[in-house]
Amino acid sequence: MIYPIRVDVSSKDNGLRIVDTILLDPTCLPIPPSTTNENYNSYNLYSQTILQNASFFAKNLLADMEVDGINKTEKIGRIRLVNNNDLIMMVENQIQKQLKSILEKESKRKMMNSTRNVNHYSKTTTKKRKLSGTDEEEKAVEDKDKVHDKEDASMESTEQEVVENDTTKEEGDKDGVDKEEAGKTTDTETKEDSKNDEENSKKQQDILKNLKTIHIRIKEDAIVYTDVIHVDTNPALPHLSNPILLAKSLVKDMNLPSSMTNSIAVTIAEQLHGLDVKPDITGLMQKDTPKSGELAAAYFERIQVDSDIPSAWKIDDKEENLAKTHHCKAAMPQYNLNQ
């Protein structure tokens, strides 16, 4: 399962703020736990793994941001982030707390899945045992029937006259038995149909229970993308809720630039883990905060978009130069301990 790690730190003088999100798969950490170090017990090894990975993420994140700010066409000063020890420590602290919560949650999820698999295996084994016992009983009944058939064959010659006299009576009894069997068959079919209906309704309720509504509201590189999707969060099918796979599929379906895959995957992962994104798209349609009701009305008249319909459009260069990047509310997922 993919988890988001939200980083939001500011320098002491508030002259610099870093906001970013890291998507992490806890099953493939960049620095895995060591299996050869005998100086650490399980708890110390667990803590050491968190510290090492948090330090790795913090340094690489700041290094990428420092290099990303350099533009070959525009000669601007390079902001030194890697040498800022205070900033590195603040980023590490946020990542450590969230990484610890992620590993704990992932451990609980694995235990639940293993318990579910054991229960499923035990039910299957019990069912097979019952079937094997039934087969033995049927075999014994068949053997008894064969013995009775042989006895009946030997007595057939002596009972012909009795059979001829009782033919009429047997036909009447047979008709009564057929009616009783037909009634029993109808009752059995009715019970099976009602049972199947109950199972189908229960499956539908489970599917609806696992569905999570995701609101995509992204404005990036002069492209605005709005969409609403429903993600199946069934823990037994983790690939259905993989934000990276979903993001790649949406980018392909909407013919968006591949660079938007990261932003879409991040917003899906954050909402799957508790971030609330409002369906309102007002901030995506305007280039600045309206100072009066007339200006706000003008913005709405210029661009009319149905928030329930998937859509993506490009802003012209003039408007993009004046536009301000619209940020959603900076918040942490529910599992985060760093409040």
Q: d(Cα 212, Cα 217) in Å, to the nearest integer?
A: 16
The residues that bridge with 230 in the sheet, in sequence order, are 213
Highest mean pLDDT among 33-42, 119-128, 327-336: 33-42
Per-residue pLDDT, 339: 35
CB proximity list for 321: less than 8 A, separation 6 or greater: none
Range 218-240 average pLDDT: 86
Give the model's pLDDT for residue 100: 92
**Look-up: residue for tokens 């700010």?**
69
241-247 contact pairs (CB < 8 A, 24+): 241/1, 241/212, 241/272, 242/2, 243/2, 243/23, 243/268, 243/269, 243/272, 244/2, 244/23
| Model pLDDT for residues 273-303, shown as the tens digit of each residue | 888 888 776 666 555 444 455 555 554 444 4
pLDDT exceeds 50 at position 330: no
Specify whether the CB–CB gap between 232 and 211 falls below 8 A: yes
CA distance 221 to 66: 20
| pLDDT (0 to 100) of residue 7 | 92
C-alpha dihedral over 289, 308, 234, 128, to 10 degrees? 180
User: What are the angstrom distances between the C-alpha of 153 and each of 71, 135, 147, 164?
Assistant: 102, 27, 10, 16
Q: 201-210 contacts: CB < 8 A, separation 24 or more?
A: 206/234, 207/232, 207/234, 210/234
Task: Using the predicted structure, report yes or no on whether residue 322 has a pLDDT greater than 80.
Answer: no
* pLDDT category of residue 45 using cuts at 50, 70 and 90: confident
Q: What is the pLDDT of residue 247?
A: 94
Mind listing the pLDDT tens digit for each residue in 100-127? Answer: 999 988 888 888 777 766 655 555 555 5
Residue 211 reports pLDDT greater than 60: yes
Residue type, 26: P
Indicate if the pLDDT at residue 52 is higher than 90. Answer: yes
Q: What does the block give as tokens for 171?
A: 């036909």
Considering only residues 130 and 208, tell me which one the structure prediction assigns the higher pLDDT: 208
Q: 6-15, 163-172, 277-286, 314-323 — which one is most confidently predicted on average? A: 6-15
Question: Quick check: 335 and 105 in contact, CB under 8 A?
Answer: yes
Supply the pLDDT for residue 205. 72
Query: What residues does each domain of the chain span?
Result: 3-117, 130-208, 210-322
3-state secondary structure of 32: coil
Determine which helix (DSSP H) or strand (DSSP E) holds 217, and give its type and residue range: strand 211-220
Q: Are 224 and 284 in contact (CB under 8 A)?
A: yes
Strand partners, 24: 3
Convert the pLDDT of each residue in 141-171 to its tens digit.
666 666 566 665 656 555 555 545 555 555 5
Confidence of residue 234 (pLDDT cuts 50, 70, 90): confident
pTM here is 0.61
pLDDT band at 68 (very low <50, low <70, confident <90, very high): confident
Give CA–CA dist 252/286, Å, rounded: 27
Distance CA 109, CA 115 (A): 10
CA neighbor of 256 nearest in space, from 218, 293, 204 = 218
Give the full edge-to-edge strand order of the sheet including 223-232: 211-220, 223-232, 311-314
For residue 61, pLDDT beyond 80: yes
CA angle 329, 331, 336 (to 5 degrees): 170
Please list the alpha-helical segments (H only) found in the chain: 42-68, 85-154, 160-165, 167-210, 243-254, 261-272, 282-285, 293-302, 317-322
